[in-house]
Structure 1
Amino acid sequence: MNDRKITVMLGLLPFIMVLGNSSLIPILPEIQQNLNLNDTQTSFILSAFSLPAALAIPFVGILSDRYGRRKLIVLSLILVILGSLIAGVSEIVGSQYSYSLLTVGRIIQGVGAAGTTPLAMALAGDLFSGDRRAKVLGILEVYNGIGKVIAPIIGAVIALIAWYALFFLFPLVAIIPLIGVTRYVKEEKQESTVSFSTYIKKLGKVLKREQRWLYPMFFLGGLCLFLLFGSLYYLSFLIEEKYGMDGFFKGTSFAIPLGAMTITSYWTGKRIKENKVMMKKLVVIGVTSLISMFFIMVFFHSLPFLMFCLTVALGGLGFLLPCINMLVTSSVREEERGFIVSIYGMVRFIGVALGPIIFENWMKDVELMFYNSLMLTIIAAVWLGLRTRIHAPSYQ
């Protein structure tokens, strides 16, 4: 097994997940105009991807524990490719059926995307151990961050050709990890002979056994993504409404704060190894960065302050997320890992989905919006501090 090639293949899986929605955001007005859609139909183009993915993630985790990660990743990527092609040809068949085909394609894409990020993390936990596992999990967050930076730019640039041309990019990206996983990952696990009901009871015992520290970790991980996408949604609104930037230029404005998160994620993944003392320090630094920056933004709302504070806050997320990923991935045995990591992935994805929706309502009072964000972060910090000292069990 070539570790470097495997790392690249795994890194492309969360990249595909991010690309699924973020690349469409700057071209939604063009899709709406070309297909003559109303606002509800347009917004459902995003929801048709997010909701099936969130609902499918736990089942993907359970199936991967029973039948193996490799099989589920291959199936997931095939679904991503199939859904993308259906969405891509939706414009060709004529306006009467275009929206229906686009929606069907997006749903299939979303179900396929459910097996990308969570299974990438679970497979990294299976294939690597110790320092290498921590580094690979950190690299996965780097790919995630890079995807968030460049996906809106990619969408805007490809839309210069045609809005539906973007959907033909997904198969080109997905085919690389599909070939790589098929070629380089040799799955030795045999299918489980344990009954499904027995397996579910066993997983319930795992959650009960580890609940003291897993639940606050899940909450903090989901909150990180909630604050990330909610803040970026507000930033997007602020830039467009007050400064008249849209499309490509709006996408590039996210590069500084998201770039900070990508850099700190990479550094953290390389440095934490299995050192729980360092993880604890970096979690404290990350949470402190979030609390201090949201406290400042309660009182100062101008674009320069916002850009500075979000850059520091997202840099803090870069310390937090790789540590949480490592702790969650290493906390359970291999046969339990797919389910636990998928639950964590589902919580993260719920955070991604709820962030823009809730921040849209909070934006009516910007001061209250940042105050609410501050309070949620403090609650997460207190819960984590009271329930755990980050002495999670470690299974190789």
Structure 2
Amino acid sequence: MHDQKKRDLVALASIPLIMTLANSMLIPVLPLMQKKLGISSVKASLIITVYAAVSIVCIPIAGYLSDRFGRKLIIIIGLSIAAIGGVVSGWSAWQLDHYAAYIGILIGRFIQGIGAAGAFPIVLPLVGDMFTSDEQVSSSLGMIETSNTFGKVVSPILGSALTLVVWYLPLAIIPVFCVISIAAIAIFVKVPKKNDEQQKMTFKAFLHDVGNILYKDGRWLYAIFAIGGIAMYIMFGFLYHMSTMLEEKHGIDGIKKGALLAIPLSAICIASYFTGKLIGTNKCKMKWFNFTGAVILTGSMSMFLFLDTTRLITNLILLSIGGLGIGLILPSLDALITEGIDKKQRGTITSLYSSMRFIGVAAGPLITSFFLDNDRLVFYIFTGMGLLCCGIALFAIHPSDEQEGKEGDLVPT
């Protein structure tokens, strides 16, 4: 890969890293924030959920704007809005008291979620635009997903360490990270010029275009949307469950808790990196890596129903195995959806996919917070959702017959 392209890719990889830190850094510190703000566990989970929930609505709009006005511009605007949201959240936690601080934090997180919608989801189609070789696209998407998961590995340790300085520092530091990423994008990222057709596309034409794509390719696209959302739901659900369990049942908090949370996340990161390298441009491999990851994830979640999960080592082993499964799933989905859609509609369709992932992020901590007193029910739900992923991956995603062993298109079943 050309040195300039490497710099482009490193700059782009900073976006999922920072957007992940903006959310995942808070997972291990939610119990502390709950105590400091005097709120319930459900209300604490909303600090994660509101960020993801507003992104769900805004991501498709950002996808359309990126198709029409350029991906680099929308990314820079998105990062700037995310920085503003971080300032609002950090200032509220610093200057306001208890419930007023909580409301201020939620408002800041709402603004930050709007910015996040114009950042990470736009990276996926931009990578597809920048490279002409399918092999480079697949490998680069693997690196982007690895950066995303690496952010999740670092975030619990970093978030826990920052709270040792002051409890709201994980909220307040995000604007600094955003400014660094904005500078890197502005300096290093060179994007292909938009064609006139994209620049002139009206919103009505855009909706018609999306409708045509979903009518033609809806079956396998809906399958990918569903698997992406379910995988993120399970990931954020079990992270929130483990964070609470470590503190309440084992008395582990601070950096030690962050380091333990980083273990299953490291499994996701490692698996994502190698999956991006191994699948290449072969869509059959993408399907079977996806299915295999879903089987591994389901198996690990189901084992919580049969083994003694009061032991910390058992929890870490099973969650790490589940993390390996998620690490097989996510890069495969990224590659399938990016390489299966024409460049001019890529921003829109990948934004819909990202919206589904954010639904999972929003639902994971919120739903899990209602069942913290019933571990078995939590893992029955995770197991059932994993089985659903297996079925969808096996029966709803089918490469075309001529794809066997080489490049080809996806077709609906």
For residues 9 and 195 of structure 1, the distance between their equivalents in structure 2, rounded to whole angstroms, comes to 31
Match of 1:131 among 123, 131, 135: 135
**TM-score between both structures, scaled by the size of structure 1:** 0.91
2:255 matched residue in structure 1: 248
Instruction: Answer whether contact 1:141 1:322 (CA < 8 A) is retained.
Output: yes
For 2:398, what is the secondary structure of its paired residue?
coil
Alpha-carbon deviation of 1:101? 4.4
1:299 matched residue in structure 2: 306
Q: Does 1:108 align with 2:111?
A: yes
Q: Does 1:119 align with 2:127?
A: no
Instruction: Answer whether contact 2:292 2:325 (CA < 8 A) is retained.
Output: yes
Q: Write out per-residue CA displacement over residues 309-335 of structure 1, whole angstroms, 9 at most, x where no aligned residue.
A: 221121111111101110011111111
Instruction: Answer whether contact 1:16 1:116 (CA < 8 A) is retained.
Output: no
**Greater mean alpha carbon deviation, residues 83-92 or residues 54-63:** 83-92
After superposition, the Cα gap between the structure-2 partners of 1:390 and 1:233, relative to the gap in structure 1 and judged at 3 Å, is farther
**Equivalent position amino acid for 2:326 in 1:** L
Q: Write out per-residue CA displacement over residues 221-275 of structure 1, whole angstroms, 9 at most, x where no aligned residue.
A: 1111111111222222322222111232221111221111111111111221102
Q: Write out per-residue CA displacement over residues 24-45 of structure 1, whole angstroms, 9 at most, x where no aligned residue.
A: 2344455556566676765543
**Equivalent position amino acid for 1:53 in 2:** S
After superposition, the Cα gap between the structure-2 partners of 1:106 and 1:204, relative to the gap in structure 1 and judged at 3 Å, is same
1:382 matched residue in structure 2: 391
Match of 2:190 among 164, 179, 185: 185
Alpha-carbon deviation of 1:111? 0.7
**Greater mean alpha carbon deviation, residues 31-40 or residues 121-130:** 31-40
For residues 30 and 364 of structure 1, the distance between their equivalents in structure 2, rounded to whole angstroms, comes to 19
2:89 matched residue in structure 1: 87
1:141 matched residue in structure 2: 145
**Equivalent position amino acid for 1:83 in 2:** G
Q: Does 1:348 align with 2:348?
A: no
For 2:199, what is the secondary structure of its paired residue?
coil
1:153 matched residue in structure 2: 157
1:200 matched residue in structure 2: 207
Structure 1: gaps (5+ residues): none
Instruction: Answer whether contact 1:68 1:187 (CA < 8 A) is retained.
Output: no
Q: Write out per-residue CA displacement over residues 167-215 of structure 1, whole angstroms, 9 at most, x where no aligned residue.
A: 4422322223312222222351156213211220111111111112111
For residues 308 and 106 of structure 2, the distance between their equivalents in structure 1, rounded to whole angstroms, comes to 38
Q: Does 1:308 align with 2:317?
A: yes
**TM-score between both structures, scaled by the size of structure 2:** 0.87
For residues 103 and 230 of structure 2, the distance between their equivalents in structure 1, rounded to whole angstroms, comes to 34
Alpha-carbon deviation of 1:376? 2.2
For 2:249, what is the secondary structure of its paired residue?
helix
For residues 368 and 36 of structure 1, the distance between their equivalents in structure 2, rounded to whole angstroms, comes to 27
For residues 103 and 326 of structure 2, the distance between their equivalents in structure 1, rounded to whole angstroms, comes to 38
Structure 2: gaps (5+ residues): 401-407
Q: Does 1:45 align with 2:47?
A: yes
Q: Does 1:175 align with 2:179?
A: yes
Match of 2:409 among 387, 390, 393: 393
For residues 16 and 55 of structure 1, the distance between their equivalents in structure 2, rounded to whole angstroms, comes to 20
After superposition, the Cα gap between the structure-2 partners of 1:85 and 1:216, relative to the gap in structure 1 and judged at 3 Å, is same
After superposition, the Cα gap between the structure-2 partners of 1:317 and 1:201, relative to the gap in structure 1 and judged at 3 Å, is same
